[in-house]
């Protein structure tokens, strides 16, 4: 019994700690977003024509309804010096036709198409990007997933964050407005629990980066062995960020989010994505096995039980101290069922407004016994007068 009581007390303490930690993360994220993502900044921190050149690496596979519109936003970027490197693994991939169409529509944009990839490891994304990475001609490399759409000034915003001590600029994952329940579910997730963990981790110095949209220094990646060095990992974004951090470079978050706008989505796809992410995080960081505890439903159950346990114990202690105090009078109170917290047993009587039972008062032989010496139950004034007249 003692071990069980100790375990319950420990779980209650854990529930309250979880409550305060989650709210701290929540407020921390809100404040950071308000100060950083919504802060009014000058459009350009440095002369526009002096912005560093950027090589955009775009891994593509398959076609969804929004692919062409998403890709087109990169062809209309308002940036003085950049190139678009479209990378496709399979010659028969329908994305090839989409890319050729955009290349013909925007002949003045520095863009190239790489087909075939290069087998250098187990990571298919790295294999796909290798020809484009080897052909990149600028010092900054921007790896951006196919389902991302951007604004004309997105790249300007990211390069403005690339200061002297920053080696990687990443965008906070979010989801564009789309129709359907699955799209709403994704937007709720990427607008609540995910950014709470993502932002609070970065604020506290924990390196938390997703590879949806990352701007990195190419020379730093080359020092770590180039893109090929990360082909042995499935979660290449984590190890690329780690390699940059290990070399003393800082991270910065762009003021614009990485806006996911895939045209193919469903509940099953969302579930598979979450399972895949969870498996990767647990394999890389075993401590993240506790991450589901921070999710709203499970956290609510733990915190709610902890509050019930603690406040019920406090109420039982208050009842007990009242009964044991000298000179206390009135009906005795006990829990309506066997209570492990105060050690009482069930007793007969009616329930009061709080859900506890009032033991029936001791019966006396006559009304006069209540009016004699010693403690007695208070009576209504009218009844008291009537009783005294009867005694007199």
Q: Which residues are catalytic?
A: 237
Cα torsion angle, 167, 24, 182, 287, sign: positive
Find how far residue 244's CA is from the centre of its chain: 24
Provide the Cα torsion 351, 354, 359, 365; round to 10°: -80
The CA distance from 237 to 256, in Å, is: 19
Instruction: Centre a 10 Å sphere on the Cβ of residue 20 and count the other Cβ atoms it contains.
Output: 10
Which of 217, 215, 210 has its CA nearest to residue 237? 210
Tokens (6 digits) for 115: 């087909």
């Amino acid at each position: 019994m003692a071990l069980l009581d100790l375990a319950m007390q420990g779980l209650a303490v854990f529930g309250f700690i979880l409550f305060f930690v989650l709210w701290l993360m929540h407020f921390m994220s809100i404040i950071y977003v308000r100060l950083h993502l919504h802060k009014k900044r000058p459009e350009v921190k440095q002369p526009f024509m002096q912005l560093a050149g950027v090589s955009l690496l775009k891994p593509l596979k398959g076609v969804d309804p929004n692919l062409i519109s998403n890709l087109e936003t990169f062809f209309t970027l308002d940036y003085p010096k950049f190139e678009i490197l479209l990378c496709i693994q399979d010659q028969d991939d329908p994305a090839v036709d989409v890319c050729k169409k955009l290349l013909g529509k925007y002949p003045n944009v520095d863009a190239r198409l790489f087909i075939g990839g290069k087998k250098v490891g187990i990571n298919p994304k790295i294999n796909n990007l290798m020809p484009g990475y080897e052909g990149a001609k600028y010092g900054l490399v921007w790896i951006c997933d196919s389902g991302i759409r951007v604004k004309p000034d997105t790249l300007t915003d990211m390069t403005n964050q690339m200061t002297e001590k920053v080696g990687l600029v990443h965008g906070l994952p979010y989801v564009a407005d789309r129709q359907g329940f699955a799209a709403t579910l994704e937007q709720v997730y990427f607008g609540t629990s995910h950014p709470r963990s993502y932002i609070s981790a970065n604020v506290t110095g924990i390196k938390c980066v997703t590879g949806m949209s990352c701007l990195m220094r190419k020379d730093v990646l080359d020092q770590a062995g180039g893109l090929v060095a990360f082909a042995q990992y499935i979660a290449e974004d984590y190890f690329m960020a780690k390699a940059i951090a290990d070399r003393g470079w800082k991270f910065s978050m762009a003021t614009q989010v990485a806006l996911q706008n895939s045209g193919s989505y469903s509940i099953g796809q969302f579930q598979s994505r979450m399972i895949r992410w969870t498996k990767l995080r647990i394999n890389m960081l075993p401590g993240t096995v506790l991450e589901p505890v921070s999710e709203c439903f499970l956290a609510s159950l733990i915190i709610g039980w902890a509050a019930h346990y603690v406040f019920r114990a406090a109420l039982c202690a208050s009842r007990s101290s009242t009964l044991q105090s000298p000179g206390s009078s009135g009906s005795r109170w006990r829990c309506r069922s066997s209570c492990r917290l105060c050690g009482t047993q069930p007793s007969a009587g009616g329930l009061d407004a709080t859900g506890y039972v009032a033991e029936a008062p001791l019966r006396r032989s006559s009304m006069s016994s209540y009016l004699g010496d010693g403690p007695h139950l208070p009576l209504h004034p009218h009844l008291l007068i009537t009783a005294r007249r009867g005694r007199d």
